[in-house]
């Protein structure tokens, strides 16, 4: 059941050739923990460019990271961010803002939202590329798991604004289902504490704020809010993780697996 749910999650959240089936889709929408579980797969792939940290110039690694993110995840989540950006600049009631989100015309709000987040992600990637390779890879992985945990949080605490992907995922799930998602994300949070810890926790914290904003401005959470949560969390988590590592990296330790035994080795 869990593997089927993860396959359904990867089929929706990524461009990976996992196939599509109704059984996998149903398992996915009924299992919020499938979001962060899929985050490990996606995060492991998009983090690969950071293995070259210290070997190649940081801007080169950052460009490779951005390209890998697009290749692995596609533009579905970015489209949600763009739609939410357009809705955010509309002066009107929730119904009018939802109409703007359904409009295929790209407005200034979409351009501003996409441009700002892309710039933030690029700058964060440059900063991450300046960290030790293991830390850089761990942080990129944690940011992706945190991004998917943000979506799981919306699925568990959000209120749907209308029929669509948002209502499909939210219906049948509740706050108690968030416990499983948090437990699944725990390994990513403890890889390189405290940087990876705050990177993962950025997801649910941002999702809670976004859910409240969506309730007030959009009448609830939509599929676009899920995509926006993913993109916003990824960029924010990387920045927060780099900042925390810069401040506390010399105090905390990084876990390394050596002959099957978890050994804590300080940097």
Q: Where are the domains of the chain?
A: 1-251
The contacts of residue 204 (CB under 8 Å, 6+ apart) are: 149, 150, 153, 178, 182
What is the residue-averaged pLDDT of the chain? 91
Q: How confident is the model at residue 177 (pLDDT cuts 50, 70, 90)?
A: very high
φ, ψ at 254 (rounded to 5°) = -115, 130
pLDDT at residue number 1: 78
- Position 154 pLDDT exceeds 60: yes
- Position 260 pLDDT exceeds 70: no
- Is the pTM here over 0.85, yes or no? yes
Whether 98 and 87 have beta carbons less than 8 Å apart is answered as yes
Could you give the percent of the chain with pLDDT greater than 90? 82
pLDDT mean over 96-112: 88
pLDDT at residue number 101: 87
pLDDT at residue number 222: 93
pLDDT mean over 41-66: 97
The contacts of residue 102 (CB under 8 Å, 6+ apart) are: 83
Burial 154-182 (b: 16+ CB within 10 A, else e): bbbbbebbbeebbbbbbeebeeebbebbb
Q: Which two tokens stand for residue 191?
A: 């890889």
pLDDT mean over 75-79: 94
pLDDT mean over 92-107: 87
pLDDT mean over 211-233: 96
- Position 253 pLDDT exceeds 50: no
Region of poorest pLDDT, from 4-8, 65-69, 140-144, 258-262: 258-262
pLDDT at residue number 165: 86
pLDDT mean over 42-63: 97
pLDDT mean over 108-137: 96
- Position 203 pLDDT exceeds 60: yes
- Position 3 pLDDT exceeds 70: yes
Reduce the DSSP state of residue 169 to 3 states and report it.
helix
Q: Tell me the angle at which helices 133-157 and 223-248 cross, rounded to the nearest 10 degrees.
A: 140
Whether 114 and 132 have beta carbons less than 8 Å apart is answered as no
């Amino acid at each position: 059941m869990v593997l089927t749910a993860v396959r359904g999650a990867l089929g929706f959240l990524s461009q990976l050739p996992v196939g599509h089936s109704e059984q996998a889709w149903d398992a996915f929408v009924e299992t919020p923990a499938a979001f962060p579980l899929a985050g490990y797969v996606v995060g492991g792939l998009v983090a690969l460019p950071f293995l070259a940290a210290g070997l190649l110039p940081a801007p080169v690694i950052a460009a490779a990271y951005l390209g890998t993110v697009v290749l692995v995840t596609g533009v579905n989540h970015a489209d949600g961010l763009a739609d939410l950006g357009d809705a955010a600049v509309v002066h009107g009631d929730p119904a009018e803002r939802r109409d703007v989100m359904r409009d295929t015309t790209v407005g200034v709000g979409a351009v501003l939202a996409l441009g700002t987040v892309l710039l933030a992600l690029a700058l964060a990637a440059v900063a991450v590329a300046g960290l030790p390779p293991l830390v850089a890879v761990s942080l990129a992985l944690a940011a992706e798991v945190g991004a998917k945990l943000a979506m799981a949080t919306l699925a568990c605490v959000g209120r749907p604004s209308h029929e669509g992907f948002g209502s499909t995922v939210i219906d049948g799930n509740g706050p108690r289902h968030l416990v499983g998602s948090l437990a699944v994300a725990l390994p990513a949070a403890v890889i390189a504490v405290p940087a990876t810890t705050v990177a993962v926790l950025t997801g649910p914290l941002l999702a809670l704020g976004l859910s409240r904003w969506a309730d007030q401005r959009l009448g609830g959470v939509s599929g676009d809010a899920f995509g926006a949560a993913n993109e916003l969390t990824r960029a924010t988590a990387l920045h927060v993780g780099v900042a925390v590592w810069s401040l506390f990296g010399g105090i905390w330790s990084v876990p390394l697996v050596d002959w099957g035994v978890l050994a804590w080795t300080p940097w």
